[in-house]
Amino acid sequence: MTTEHTQESQGKVGHTRRHFLAGAGGVAGALALGTAGSARAAAGKRVAVLGGGVSGLSAAHELAERGYAVTVYEYYDALGGKARSMPVPGTGAGGRADLPAEHGFRFFPGFYRNLPDTMRRIPVPGNANGVHDNLVSGTEALFARAGGRPDLHFPLRRATTPPRPGDLTLSWLRDQVLSVLDLGTRLPAHEVAYFADRLLVHLTSCDARREEVWEKVAWWDFIRAEEMSEEYRTVLGVGQTRNLVATRAEVASTRTVGRVIIEALLLWGLLGRGMDGDADIDRILNAPTSEAWIDPWEAHLRSLGVDFVLGTQVREVRYDGGRVTGVRVSARDGGDERTVTADHYISALPVEHARLTWGRGLRAADPQLGKCDALQTDWMTGVMFYLRTPTPVVHGHINCLDSPWSVTAVGQAQFWGGRVFPRDYGDGRAHDCLSAIISEWDKPGILYGKTAKECTKEEVVAELWAQLKDGLNDAGKTVLRDEDRLGWFMDPAVTGLGGPEPRNREQLLIHPTGTLYNRPTAHTRVPNFFLAGDYVRTDVDLATMEGANESARLAVNALLKADDSDAERCRIWELYRPPELEPLKRVDELRYKLGLPNTFDLG
């Protein structure tokens, strides 16, 4: 076994990578800048960042800007984690790139503010606001219904004349919710009214009631879904949880669903409050994710002196004498084991991988690490369908409300304004890419009567296609045609389908009741060890790229404090709190201390 410092180069571990640094100055320029950046950063202390996903790259970005010498260790041969694009090998011809594929489509809600700030600081030639200018808005969401039921088309433009400060009242909010649900659904009037009243309860609940009561109550129970119609359960229960964050409504924390999905995403998003500038609710990148974002980011980080060691698996974070003393790593295939050292360490691995690297001594030093064993993950993985004809369906995302596998999708090519799909990708036959995600892998489908995990990959693809057609090809219209389907691609992180042990290396943190209590802080009791990732406790409180970015900012701020640094701290944006509701929350705080229910909670 050997010990190496964190300023090792990619060449030392013998890994290569094909770069697509579109608009970022090319590989040679990026590497030349990286050499100069390393010299500038050499005066700073060394930081090892474990993981090259959104949280790891965000931490590296903030640290490099503050003069630290950063090395990022990443399992794959490409950066970006679950956010990265991946080419479909061998599909490019005639000078075109391979067909683009991803873990699942990317979604950048307007309430994201930390991540967009980072994106503005990633330069792209011709873009005044860097990568941020590569975000484009979806204008409509389609809630597709099966069985001939009318689809729900939901406009996603923020209000052009939002209520002025002071005009936002509970009666006004209730009227808006009633109006939207009455016009857009077939729910009975009394169920619509009940749901609107439950929203008022959550909107006016104080922080203590949310964290100590609603965190323990499932969304399903909070809205009394079991007592309501099937339509109510589908639209307001499953459709708001499983299809969006892979968490079952029956167990999802009311605090998380109500605070992030209902309030930040929908209510305040439609009203244009607490948003990223003049952003709309739904934003998508204007090219495959790595082309539009990750590759320019990598080039910029190299120019700041960040080093990357790819194809590397973190085996153990070593602890002795009150500090982390090094990290045992190896090549991804298990060879070339060695120990790397630094002054500080940020673990930015997904929780299911990070907790495997924490030994008994480290866990004893900080009990919150042990609590992470109780955090739960689940499958939420996509399939890309390549189509012979342009098939945009809707200018935004699709939610197949009645699909047993909780299917969501988006037509990608319509948003890629700088790309012509048959000219730029594949062999020229594919004109579009429909990216679909399966959020429910444990319920029987409509073709084979098997769960997704029980199906082979081919059966998963056939079943998913059937469920998409079931939602989109009804009411006398045909949107998806079998003859248009040219090919498909599934994330290679999913293996063993149809066998006794199906596996998914890239799972998603889910939010059943009580999750908040097991989420760790970015700072630990070990003075040179910090945590970043969407499982870390942040204000956004949801497994998102925004949460990953916010956690990295918190980790860097904690590191700066531990290092007694006078560098400027990372700014943290928290979720919007409408000032009009603060007096009602203060009233509720008093009622909660007195053991009384919320004023609007009539049971």
**Tens-digit pLDDT profile for residues 323-336:** 999 999 999 988 88
At residue 15 the predicted structure's pLDDT band, cuts being 50, 70 and 90, is very low
CATH topology of domain 2-83+288-375+515-562: FAD/NAD(P)-binding domain (3.50.50)
| Rama region for 412: left / alpha / beta (φ>0; ψ in -120 to 50; rest) | alpha
Distance (Å, rounded) from C-alpha 304 to C-alpha 6?
15
pLDDT at 154: 79
pLDDT digits (tens, 9 = 90+) for 567-591: 999 999 999 999 999 999 999 999 9
Residue 8 reports pLDDT greater than 80: no
pLDDT in tens, 197-244: 999 999 999 999 999 999 999 999 999 999 999 888 888 888 777 656
Q: Rounded to an integer, what distance in angstroms lies between the CA atom of residue 105 and that of residue 243?
A: 13
- pLDDT of 166 reads 61
> Tens digits of per-residue pLDDT, 30-57?
333 333 333 333 356 999 999 999 999 9
pLDDT at 266: 79
| Integer Cα distance of 502 and 490 in angstroms | 14
Q: What is the DSSP string of 300-330?
A: HHHHTT-EEE-SEEEEEEEEETTEEEEEEEE
Nearest residue to 456 (alpha-carbon basis) of 489, 424, 491, 495: 495
* pTM score: 0.90
pLDDT for position 14: 30
Q: Do β-strands 344-347 and 46-50 pair in parallel, antiparallel, or remain unpaired?
A: parallel
> CA–CA separation, 124 vs 27, rounded Å?
14
- Of 239 and 12, the one with more pLDDT: 239
Q: Is the pLDDT of residue 170 over 80?
A: no
Q: Looking at residues 149-162, what average pLDDT do you find?
A: 71
What is the DSSP code (8-state) at residue 260?
A: I
CA distances from 600 to 203, 237, 407, 580, 592 (A): 10, 21, 35, 16, 13
Q: Which is more confident, 449 or 231?
A: 449
pLDDT of residue 279: 84
Residues 6+ apart with CB under 8 A from 18: none
At residue 269, the pLDDT reads 82
Q: How far from the centroid of its chain's Cα atoms is residue 330's Cα?
A: 28
Residue 165 CA to residue 134 CA, distance in Å, equals: 31
CA dihedral (257, 261, 266, 272) positive or negative: positive
Instruction: Identify the CA nearest to 386 among candidates 351, 417, 356, 422.
Output: 422
For residue 332, with 0-12 CB atoms within 10 Å meaning exposed, 13-18 middle and 19 or more buried, which class applies?
middle
In 54-149, alpha helices (H): 54-65, 114-120
What tens digit of pLDDT does each residue of 379-405 get?
Answer: 999 899 999 999 888 999 999 989 999
Q: How many helices (H) and strands (E) would you count in the chain?
A: 21, 24
Q: How far apart are CA 316 and CA 215, in angstroms?
A: 33
Q: How many CB atoms lie within 10 A of CB 512?
A: 17
Q: What are phi and psi of 270, to 5 degrees?
A: -65, -30
**Do the strands 377-378 and 381-387 form a parallel or antiparallel pair, or are they unpaired?**
unpaired
**Cα–Cα dist 489/103, whole Å:** 10
What is the C-alpha separation between 396 and 250, in angstroms, rounded?
27
Rounded mean pLDDT of 275-290?
91
Question: Residue 217 and residue 295: Cα distance in Å, rounded?
Answer: 42
Contact residues for 499 (Cβ-Cβ < 8 A; gap 6+): none
pLDDT for the residue numbered 106 = 84
What pLDDT score does 476 carry?
A: 67
Segment 484-503 shows an average pLDDT of 95
Q: Which two tokens stand for residue 498?
A: 């149809």
**Please, which pLDDT band fits residue 363 given cuts at 50, 70 and 90?**
very high
Q: Which of these, 261, 171, 281, 190, lies nearest to 219 by C-alpha position?
A: 261
State how far the alpha carbon of 349 is from the alpha carbons of 63, 261, 331, 597, in Å.
17, 25, 16, 40
Q: What is the pLDDT of residue 336?
A: 86
Beta strands in 83-209 (DSSP E): 85-87, 100-102, 135-137, 140-144, 152-155
